[in-house]
């Protein structure tokens, strides 16, 4: 699925609720989902983990949309390899940069 | 950008490092990026926020890949509206479900 299309769909589906909730409470929901991923990493149910990881993406999209960030454009820096060293596989001397 | 293509690119670029680091340390990097987003939400620099949000997506993809989760397939449940009530805009009686 295209990330731009996903952002448009999530904005259409949840944009009004996200705006009413506000950025801080929407970010809190993203953090909740991170917690759910942490919990599901303890178990063996990969379909439950997949669901929570998809929720992390969805709430990240909501935060981006609320802040006027085009997430598809932002993620494009990963399209051709490591954003720092510019190649794939990454050849950075340190672990993957922050 | 297509999420499946992004997962393939990130796996090619960082997969070996992610596997060597392991799931827990890779999840910790995802949490680090969540912290960076929290920090950038305080400021007005939307390009910095965009960068950190893209890193959240990238590390989420890395966790998914390490766990054998196809994130593109997982996110498809958001493709046609709310995964719970099935419509867009969401008509769930409560706030957007967890």
**Are B27 and A17 inside 8 Å of each other by CB?**
no
Please provide the average confidence, as pLDDT, over all residues in chain A: 95
State residue A94's pLDDT score: 73
Predicted local distance difference test score (pLDDT) of residue B93: 87
The per-residue pLDDT for A96 is: 60
- Average pLDDT of chain B is 95
Position A97 scores a pLDDT of: 58
Nearest residue in B to A54, CA atom:
B75
pLDDT of residue B54: 98
- From the CA of B76, how many Å to the nearest CA of chain A? 7
C-beta of residue A88 within 8 angstroms of C-beta of residue A81: yes
How much is the pLDDT for B67?
98
- CA-wise closest residue to A69 among A6, A15, A7: A7
Mean pLDDT in residue range B21-41: 98
Tell me the mean pLDDT in the region B45-52: 97
Q: pLDDT-derived band of residue A95, with 50, 70 and 90 as boundaries?
A: confident
Q: What value does the mean pLDDT take over residues B64-81? A: 97
Determine phi and psi for B79, rounding to 5 degrees: -70, -25
pTM: 0.95
Give buried/exposed letters for A10-39 (b at 16+ CB in 10 A, else e): bbebbbebbeebeeeebbebbeebbebbee
Asked if A88 lies within 8 A of B9 by C-beta distance, the reply is: yes
Q: Which residue of B has its CA nearest to A49?
A: B69
DSSP secondary structure of B26-93: HHHHHHHHHHHHHHHHTSS-HHHHHHHHHHHHHHHHHHHHHTT--HHHHHGGGTTS-TTT--SS---S
* ipTM summary value: 0.95
Q: Does B80 score more than 70 pLDDT?
A: yes
Phi, psi of A2 (to 5 degrees): -70, 135
């Amino acid at each position: 699925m295209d990330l731009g299309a996903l952002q448009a769909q999530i904005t259409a589906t949840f944009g009004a609720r996200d705006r009413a909730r506000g950025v801080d409470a929407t970010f809190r929901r993203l953090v909740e989902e991170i917690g759910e991923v942490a919990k599901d990493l303890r178990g063996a149910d990969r379909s439950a983990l997949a669901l929570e990881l998809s929720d992390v993406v969805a709430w990240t999209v909501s935060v981006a949309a609320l802040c006027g960030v085009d997430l598809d454009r932002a993620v494009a820096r990963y399209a051709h390899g490591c954003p720092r060293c510019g190649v794939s596989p990454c050849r950075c001397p340190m672990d993957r940069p922050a």
